[in-house]
Structure 1
Amino acid sequence: PAITFLLMAPAANIMAIIFTSEIISWKLALARIVFSFIGAIIIGMIVAKTPWGKKIEDKYMEMAGKRHTKIQEMAIEDKFWETMHVAGDLARRVVPYLALGLVFVSFVEAYLPKEIVAKWLTGIHGVFLGGAIGVPTYTPTLVEVFFTKALINLGMSPSAALAFLIGAPMASIPSMLGVSRVVGWKVVLTYAILAIIVAIISGLIYLGLGVGL
């Protein structure tokens, strides 16, 4: 469960899905949540079967139990302020990156030649590249939606866009660096490789179905 949540949270959280639906299309948003959900479960099950995955699952099951007990013992007022504190801390972290990300996306859309996008981010090879470029390309939470929309405007295919939207949040290098401090590199590299494979397969299925935007 811990690994599955770790993958599902960035790839298909409620805000990411709403943004995808409103800014790109509801079809891509639906495909994103379905493929991310199925992929996260499969990857979580595979990683949990590895020796290093089992250690992480056991560790966080124990921590979750202690945390649940602590929360249950808190008064309602304390629970409210704890929630507000977490929400405020999250907003302070996300908003600056969101603003910088939007500036970056604007530059990409303005200066990246359409010919390059149309050549490399369409068709089958576009799906493979879309799933892979999310690794070195760090897009902060929700910014990946704006970035993908900019690339679509420049000629990126919907199937390549889906592969990027699934692969980038799960397996970007900065995300892996942060997560590795918590779960270790063996778990991170295992789920990252599997996440890229899931992203590519999802894009290929979407391409084969010919759904589009």
Structure 2
Amino acid sequence: MSVTVDELLQALHAGVAGKLDVSSLTDAIEALVEAQPEDSRKAIHAYTGDERLRLWALGLLGDPRDFPVLAAGLADPELRSTALEALAGQPDATRVDEIARSFLDDADPMVRSRAVRMVAFSARPGALAVLSPLAQDPIPHVRMILGWCLGGLGDQAAEPTLRTLLADPDEQVRAFAAHGLRRLNRP
């Protein structure tokens, strides 16, 4: 008997609610989505459970037809972080980067850190200029992610910001900035 995407999403919802290890469920969903993208897409759109899980699963598909649904999720502060993550799988990198940049100053630090990752990953022109001000973010987690991500840009102009983060009062930020600096200077 084969399991469906809907059944897996329901089990994932229960597992997350029960604070269980759900890695095997997420792996199973990812495999099913990869093997049967169109059937999975229909099932995910029909899923009426947790909207965060539905957006997450749509993100696995990376189907441009789902861009409007994922973008609509950005309007809800409760869904924003998940919707932003799901958009990362979309093929229109320019549009995704523009959206991610618009959330670098979001009130939610998790959204800001996710936006930092997305902008740094795409490394589109001007990425360093929009990311560097986050070295002053009031939340250490955001600065920590910034330190790591700046190292991945491969732009030596990121070094002054990384050096600033090396002097951060937070130990984790300093550690991630050091890793970022090593990544930046790796041959």
Query: Is the TM-score greater than 0.5?
Result: no
Question: More helix per residue: 1 or 2?
Answer: 1
After TM superposition, the score normalised by the length of structure 1 is 0.20
